[in-house]
Structure 1
Amino acid sequence: MNNLLAFSGDAFVAAFFLYCFGFIFYVIAVAGRRWSNRDPQQHLKRWGRIAFVVSTLGLAAHLTFFFTRWIGASHIPTSNMYEFMSFLGMAIMIAFTVIFAIYRTTLLGMFALPLTIIIITYAAVFPQEVQPLIPALDSIWLYIHVTTAALGEAFFAVGFAAGLMYLLRVIDFKDRSKGARRQQRWAEFSLYVIVVVVAFIVTVFAFRGADYQAEFLQETLSIDNRGQEVTSSDTVEYNMPPIVKPYNSDVVQMDSFLGMTQPLLETPSWMEGVDAARKLNTVLWSIITGSLLYGLLRLVLRRPLGAALHPLMEGIDPDDLDEITYRSIAIGFPIFTLGALIFAMIWAEIAWSRFWGWDPKEVWALITWLYYSAYLHLRLSRGWQGQRSAWLAVIGFVVVMFTLIGVNLVIAGLHSYAGV
């Protein structure tokens, strides 16, 4: 089994590199048509076909990883954050392949592939060892609930990519009017957030590669059932230089970084939980490195990222992008409804003897469902199309990602085991 799991890991790495090459070929297909000596459409078609073949090979390698890990672990690999985010990345590629087969829009690959790459790279941040299933997860409903919910979210992700493309296509980055400048700022902010996420992943791997370590001893004061004060001590380990240390803690050991041998700040006392300070520290590092990376890109491009991407959208019919956005969400919505609500409630009744319990993950799954219900209602009944529809698709995927990541890693609840 160890050899099979090792082969599974190699397949995951192969999928990652094939996705990266596929993305590069999509960029060549879209951006290179301007400098092609041949007919631009022929250039787009030729390189687009190559990109699709390479990305499909990446999907085949990803499927190989999924099934070989399933066999090696003796359970479906969707039980923790590494496995689930890996599966979500694979599901996005499946959703992209379905949408591409319908619309044949090569440019969509230039946005869907990076999304997949970011998600599976984020998955690699988490521990990759096979973990035994806890009793609550040892059920056939793990197979049904998680896979269908993730597939629905994958179609939402493709809708997000198409919606962002639509905005970059129709927003006039040369217009100086008040309304246009507001649209430009929000589109640029969306790209900035993506850069921050990329910077977070790069920062994690950079400090992990440098084997950075810091350790703190935190004392916590609490009141027991008899009304007496009880002091407890917890060890908090950092893998990034501590901009903020845990509240009421002392340094046990801290590697030097750029001359910094002591934390700069202390986490506020109202941020409770042994991991609160570490999470705040990670957020601060993500914003700092993301801002630096964004500034570097602006310096190299000498203009906003949205303005740099806008010319690549020339020749793309915005109505096609609007239709792809809607169709992706329309396909994903019933799948998500089955997986995240109906199947989840059946499993909750079996596991916890209740269909609904206001657990944070359940609440945010419902919020996500209500949000996309509102999207479809506004689209079909109110005629919301174009920019309004695209913004709803972009914001909706932010809600999805908070449901997947924010709830698991920030809010404590019955689903917190998924963050292990």
Structure 2
Amino acid sequence: MNDWLIFSSNAFITAFALYCASFIAYAIAVAGKRWSNREPAAHTARWGRIAFITALLGWAAHLTFFFTRWIGGGHIPTSNMYEFMTFLAMAIMFAFIVVYLIYRNTLLGAFTLPLVIIIIAYASVFPSQVQPLIPALNYVWLKIHVTTAALGEAFFAVGFAAALIQLIRVVDLTTTDKAGVRARRWTEFCLVIIIIIIGFLAAVFIFRGAGYHAEFRQESVLIDQQGQAQTSVKEVKYGLPPIVKPYNSDVISMQPFMGLQQPLFEAPSWMNGVNAGRKLNTVIWSVISGLVLYGLMRLIARKPLVAVIHPHLTDIDPDDLEEISYRAIAIGFPIFTLGALIFAMIWAEIAWSRFWGWDPKEVWALVTFLFYSVYLHLRLSRGWQGTRSAWLAVIGFLVVMFTLIGVNLVIAGLHSYAGV
């Protein structure tokens, strides 16, 4: 590793630490005002300034990481999942800074910073070594396509954060009618999804720290261009105890865990993404870990998490949150359209000699574009505001995350390198 990459790694750790410190300051600004001797507004303003300055310092360190890794690696660091997710986190921070400077809403930082921290932690699951570019990625249009698409998604993320705050703010904790109970349950479910992601990170790092290892030999049949069947054998390594083994595979080695001597299931044959069995196993462990973590949090709080957060949001105008969410998405939509569709088509023509090929990532980028088109149409032309608009913003970002992460789990395509 050369000096630039060492410096880059240190800058990345510094950025992560500053983001964590900024989140703590935002949490104090929002939740600590009840126990402060100052006036609540003065307490929030003081800690909000500290949190924002710390976030700016973290973003500066993140920029340093990005450019020094670019210099040390010889190409823009967006070519694999580790690099793309770290860039996405940096783009979300940029989008947050822009929106915050417009609206000066402290709560936005309290919800955006955890999202950035989770994405960085998720990126750390993947190998961080600089990898040589495959020929299809060695084009200037890759830089333009990936960076603009990620920047558009970053503004969608800020819109999601504001919409989630809005949903928690307007939820009625006292009503017993079906609509009120359904609203509480779905809002709580959104928090459960976030906790499941945290549970995934906890499981990965705990078993990685314990040195857990399992390995399988998987045999697959490929059809070549002449229609001939070719048998391929590869080894698949697991870092989590294998509840699900790869399709059509045998165990090479497996450490027992809590009585689990052999995998319980085999991945279905239709899951033909890169290392689909391992990823399905990871999803199962994520759900298990997340639900256990959620259960512990409920046990400590003795009430739903929505009921824990809601009292700290009562002095916020939900209309302001909706405006923030809408403006963030309105900024991100044309950027995403350029990056994920138009620039992507130009790159596809250069790299693969066709503008469009119905590759899974291309299809889901189109789905994302169409969904946010519908959101903007309903918001502007049909007057969909309030909770309906907020739910669309939340669901839209879930579509974005599936496009980034979920597609590689179940479908193989030209973008499968991103899941390695």
Instruction: Give 1:115's aligned amino acid.
Output: L
Contact 1:409 1:416 in 2 (8 A): no
For 2:240, the equivalent position in structure 1 comes to 240
Instruction: Give 1:173's aligned amino acid.
Output: L
Shift of 1:159: 0.1
For 1:277, the equivalent position in structure 2 comes to 277
Shift in alpha-carbon separation, 1:148–1:26, aligned structure 2, 3 A: same
Instruction: Give 2:179's aligned amino acid.
Output: G
Instruction: Give 1:189's aligned amino acid.
Output: F
- Report matched runs for 1:181-260 at 5 Å: 181-220=181-220, 233-260=233-260
Identity of aligned residues (%): 70
SS at match of 2:236: strand
C-alpha separation in 2, matches of 1:42 and 1:34:
12
SS at match of 1:133: coil
Instruction: Give 1:380's aligned amino acid.
Output: L
Shift of 1:415: 1.3
SS at match of 1:283: helix
C-alpha separation in 2, matches of 1:273 and 1:88:
23
Shift of 1:222: 7.2
Contact 1:218 1:247 in 2 (8 A): yes
Instruction: Give 2:150's aligned amino acid.
Output: A
Instruction: Give 1:9's aligned amino acid.
Output: S
* Structure 2 residue 322 is the aligned partner of structure 1 residue 322: yes
C-alpha separation in 1, matches of 2:240 and 2:399:
27
* 78-87 vs 342-351, which moves further: 342-351
C-alpha separation in 2, matches of 1:230 and 1:338:
40
C-alpha separation in 1, matches of 2:272 and 2:362:
23
Contact 2:11 2:65 in 1 (8 A): yes
* 231-240 vs 304-313, which moves further: 231-240
SS at match of 1:82: helix
* 217-226 vs 355-364, which moves further: 217-226
For 2:50, the equivalent position in structure 1 comes to 50
For 1:370, the equivalent position in structure 2 comes to 370
Contact 2:121 2:201 in 1 (8 A): yes
Contact 1:234 1:274 in 2 (8 A): no
For 1:132, the equivalent position in structure 2 comes to 132
For 1:71, the equivalent position in structure 2 comes to 71
* Structure 2 residue 118 is the aligned partner of structure 1 residue 143: no
C-alpha separation in 2, matches of 1:146 and 1:161:
22
- Cα deviation, 1:366-392, whole Å, max 9, x if unaligned, reads 111111111110000001111000000
Contact 2:273 2:416 in 1 (8 A): no
Shift of 1:12: 0.6
SS at match of 1:286: helix
C-alpha separation in 1, matches of 2:227 and 2:328:
56
- Report matched runs for 1:32-43 at 5 Å: 32-43=32-43
Shift of 1:410: 3.5
Shift of 1:414: 1.2
Instruction: Give 2:174's aligned amino acid.
Output: K
SS at match of 1:236: strand
* 116-125 vs 240-249, which moves further: 240-249
- Cα deviation, 1:148-204, whole Å, max 9, x if unaligned, reads 111010000000000000000001122111100011111011110000011101111
- Report matched runs for 1:349-388 at 5 Å: 349-388=349-388
Contact 2:274 2:419 in 1 (8 A): no
C-alpha separation in 2, matches of 1:82 and 1:226:
36
For 1:296, the equivalent position in structure 2 comes to 296
C-alpha separation in 2, matches of 1:211 and 1:38:
49
Contact 1:236 1:274 in 2 (8 A): no
5+ residue gaps, structure 2: none
Shift in alpha-carbon separation, 1:356–1:256, aligned structure 2, 3 A: same
Shift of 1:209: 1.2
For 2:85, the equivalent position in structure 1 comes to 85
* Structure 2 residue 189 is the aligned partner of structure 1 residue 178: no
For 2:155, the equivalent position in structure 1 comes to 155
Contact 1:70 1:77 in 2 (8 A): yes
Contact 2:273 2:411 in 1 (8 A): no
* 36-45 vs 345-354, which moves further: 345-354
Instruction: Give 2:25's aligned amino acid.
Output: F
- Cα deviation, 1:122-147, whole Å, max 9, x if unaligned, reads 01111100011111111111221111
Query: How many equivalent pairs are there?
Result: 420
- Cα deviation, 1:15-36, whole Å, max 9, x if unaligned, reads 1111011000000001011111
C-alpha separation in 2, matches of 1:160 and 1:325:
7
* Structure 2 residue 162 is the aligned partner of structure 1 residue 169: no
- Cα deviation, 1:8-64, whole Å, max 9, x if unaligned, reads 011111111110110000000010111111111000000000011111111011000
Contact 2:246 2:278 in 1 (8 A): yes
SS at match of 1:355: coil
Shift of 1:248: 4.0
Shift of 1:411: 1.9
Shift of 1:100: 0.3
C-alpha separation in 1, matches of 2:370 and 2:300:
41
Instruction: Give 2:244's aligned amino acid.
Output: V
C-alpha separation in 2, matches of 1:131 and 1:228:
32
* Structure 2 residue 398 is the aligned partner of structure 1 residue 398: yes
C-alpha separation in 2, matches of 1:322 and 1:227:
55
C-alpha separation in 2, matches of 1:171 and 1:291:
23
5+ residue gaps, structure 1: none
C-alpha separation in 1, matches of 2:308 and 2:190:
14
Shift of 1:223: 7.9
TM-score (norm 2): 0.96
- Cα deviation, 1:296-327, whole Å, max 9, x if unaligned, reads 01001111111111111111111100100000
SS at match of 1:261: coil
C-alpha separation in 2, matches of 1:341 and 1:25:
38
Shift of 1:231: 5.9
